Structure 1
Amino acid sequence: MANTMKIDVHHVTRVEGHGNIVVNAKNGVLEECRLDIVETPRFFEAMLRGRPYTEASHITSRICGICSVGHATASLRASENALGVELSEQTWLLRKLIFFGEMLDSHVLHTYMLVAPDFFNVGSVIPLAGIAPEAVLRALRIKKLAGDLCAIIGGRHTHPVAMTIGGFTHLPTVDELKAIRQRLIDSRKDMDDTVALFKTLPWLHFERETEYVALSKPDEYAFIDGTITSTDNVQYPASDYRKVTNERCVEHSSAKHTAHKRDSYMVGALARFNVNYQQLHPRAKEAADALGIKPICSNPYYNSVAQVVEMVHSVEESIKICDELIARGVREETLPKFNGKGGEGVGACEVPRGVLFHNYEIGDDGKIVNANCIIPTGQNLANIEADMRELVPQVLDRGEQQVTMALEMLVRAYDPCISCSVHFLDVKFV
């Protein structure tokens, strides 16, 4: 029967870790629907125990290749909050600037190279380059710009070496900032062309009302620090993150699921857009209007659209920060010294795929006693499954190929990863 099928999706991935989709429908009734995470635990929290707090950011940046700046920043903020370290205005500006570089770097990879091929009926960016060479060249230009921006601040593109407790061990020159500023200005055309491309794509029409969670600040589109804010009108300080995450083990996943007041919630670009739309740069709001997205958007496929909006925001805010740093000048600053008194602190950041928490307890000897890291993908897993359960009955009568495509695109839309790549799924019907 057309409405009876058993789907077993095994990983053909570009991600560290393994995930399988299992769907079993009989006579139009959904009997089984889940996302199995079968990857091996990596035990980063255990690695941190007994290590000097100064090593934490360099260790945890290895959790994720593309989100390495985000993990390093969350780690540094956890240690700084534990030790009472205050940051200078220059350090804040530089951290925001490198964060925008990473956001741009990750989003262009996901939207162009992992999402766009679906709309051109090709399996990867390689054949896409033959069909739409200008689009792929544009993506590569943007990615090169983002990588270079991260490198001049962090010392290199991936796994920054210059970021440290209280500041930086290496600073960009004013000439480097002027050069990257001009490239950012030049990239506005690529941003406009990106918006023009993605507004033409036939996004799937699917909505499921859910809770969206993101960091927020009253005066900026929050990426570093902030108040945990839910579209269900609930707020918590970052130190109370456990009241939101409520991690639990599930039998079919080696990754924990999370839930707040409902059975699941979503984090990521769409959650940030829904929570913080008013803080977007005006040009990013114009991009959102052109793309046809406005809060509250409940279509998970539009997470990729929200990423395009954030790309525009990241470019514009980066230009502003470059202007301020150039006007102020970049000066060497004295880094703080450990005073022999430990403590506990939480670092919260919005990495490309959603809100990330690092929580460290540091002893008086400067070594980490306990560590806890809550990754965005883990927070999204239960919500992905809830979307799957709602989606499958709506597309079940369209045949195996369209069910396959809808499920693959749903998983891709969340951009799930540990090493900041995304699942490519090979679906077999059995």
Structure 2
Amino acid sequence: MTTLKIDVHHVTRVEGHGNIVVDVQSGELKECRFEVVEAPRFFEGMLRGRLYTEASHITSRICGICAVGHATTSLCATEKALGIEPSEQTVFLRKLNLHGEIIDSHVLHTYMLVAPDFFGVGSVIPLVETHRDVVLRALRIKKLSGDLCAMVGGRHTHPIAMTVGGFTHLPTEAELRQMRARLVDARADMDETVALFATLPWPEFERETEYVSLHKDDEYAFIGGTIVTSDGFSYPIEDYKKVTNEECVPFSTAKWTHHNRESYMVGALARLNNNFDQLHPRAKEAAAKLGLKPIVTNPFLNT
């Protein structure tokens, strides 16, 4: 019978720090866990006693990669508490800024963290010699997304222009028109990205779980709406704690959450599973080429 012990410190090519522990004794899986070992950050404590205008700038420091998401969430919470209704223009620009960050994060994940495994190398660096076009495409997309965030938020990482109720300054019409043209031109790189990842041999692995995301009747939701799950539950955003149900575990500094099952999944795959019908037609075409049709239960396809 198989006896196997795996103890990886730390997992590489992930956004953060984590360990993997696996213990198989006489063919029986005794333990399998992912440990988040980053030091506690105590952002809740940092915010106590600070001005409400400072909150989004502090919370954006939770992550340098997804700073826009943390800042936007903080602003939405502050405005909810103060009874402030942001203008249609403010909401639109926040969405634009968030989309820039999502593009940036996804190209980092797909090209820099995932692709090296499929090409049999330890990092993206060796791909410069063997697949230079792939690396250059990734850098072009990443540059575009960074410029988009900087145009709206004042800078790419940790936006400084977003504030409670609006922005401290706005992009000009000329900047917006120029950015629109660049985004249209980038469709070729996006199409090539889909074509590349459609050819990769994804692991055949299925794991059914509950998928949790935002939902809005009139758009593919990233900000606002209601909280929905693939198990049929729906909650107003104000009741988010009924979904998160945070708990501490001894082997991880990141809190665990559960809802209708032992765990659930959020993010890109959850949004696709819960809001597939609201995808843009071009996005649906890309999903078809990648073999994505809800409910998708292969977590590798979150890429």
In structure 2, the partner of 1:197 is 196
**Conserved 8 A contact 1:17-1:40:** no
Q: Within 2, Cα distance between the matches of 1:88 and 1:285? A: 30
Shift in Å at residue 279 of structure 1? 1.1
Q: Within 1, Cα distance between the matches of 2:13 and 2:32? A: 23
Once the two structures are superposed, the pairs formed by residues 59-208 of structure 1 within 5 Å of their partners are 59-208=58-207
In structure 1, the partner of 2:235 is 236
Q: Within 1, Cα distance between the matches of 2:251 and 2:115? A: 30
Specify which structure has the bigger relative contact order, considering alpha-carbon pairs within 8 angstroms and separated by 6 or more residues.
Answer: 1
**Conserved 8 A contact 1:24-1:30:** yes
Shift in Å at residue 15 of structure 1? 6.3
Shift in Å at residue 17 of structure 1? 5.2
**Conserved 8 A contact 2:14-2:113:** no
CA separation of 1:199 and 1:262: change in aligned 2, threshold 3 A: same
Letter paired with 1:270: L
Q: What do residues 221-260 of structure 1 show as CA deviations (whole Å, max 9, x unaligned)?
A: 1011110000000000111111111111112112211100
In structure 1, the partner of 2:300 is 301
In structure 1, the partner of 2:261 is 262
CA separation of 1:275 and 1:12: change in aligned 2, threshold 3 A: closer
**Conserved 8 A contact 2:11-2:19:** no
Letter paired with 1:114: L
In structure 2, the partner of 1:422 is none
CA separation of 1:201 and 1:14: change in aligned 2, threshold 3 A: closer
Q: What do residues 89-113 of structure 1 show as CA deviations (whole Å, max 9, x unaligned)?
A: 1111111111110110110011001
**Conserved 8 A contact 1:44-1:60:** yes
Letter paired with 2:159: P
Partner of 1:50, secondary structure, is: coil
Letter paired with 1:200: T
Q: What do residues 125-165 of structure 1 show as CA deviations (whole Å, max 9, x unaligned)?
A: 10122111101100000000000001111111111110001
Q: Within 2, Cα distance between the matches of 1:166 and 1:13? A: 40
Letter paired with 1:56: A
4+ residue stretches of structure 1 with deviation over 6 A?
none
Once the two structures are superposed, the pairs formed by residues 45-60 of structure 1 within 5 Å of their partners are 45-60=44-59
Partner of 1:207, secondary structure, is: coil
Shift in Å at residue 38 of structure 1? 2.1
Give the TM-score normalised by structure 2: 0.98
In structure 2, the partner of 1:307 is none
Shift in Å at residue 13 of structure 1? 4.3
Q: Within 2, Cα distance between the matches of 1:87 and 1:279? A: 24
Letter paired with 2:54: E
Q: What do residues 351-373 of structure 1 show as CA deviations (whole Å, max 9, x unaligned)?
A: xxxxxxxxxxxxxxxxxxxxxxx
Q: Within 1, Cα distance between the matches of 2:52 and 2:80? A: 12
Give the TM-score normalised by structure 1: 0.69
Letter paired with 1:85: I
Identity across aligned pairs (percent)?
A: 71
CA separation of 1:120 and 1:281: change in aligned 2, threshold 3 A: same
Shift in Å at residue 87 of structure 1? 1.2
Letter paired with 1:238: I
Q: What do residues 152-201 of structure 1 show as CA deviations (whole Å, max 9, x unaligned)?
A: 11111111110001100110001101111111010010011000000000
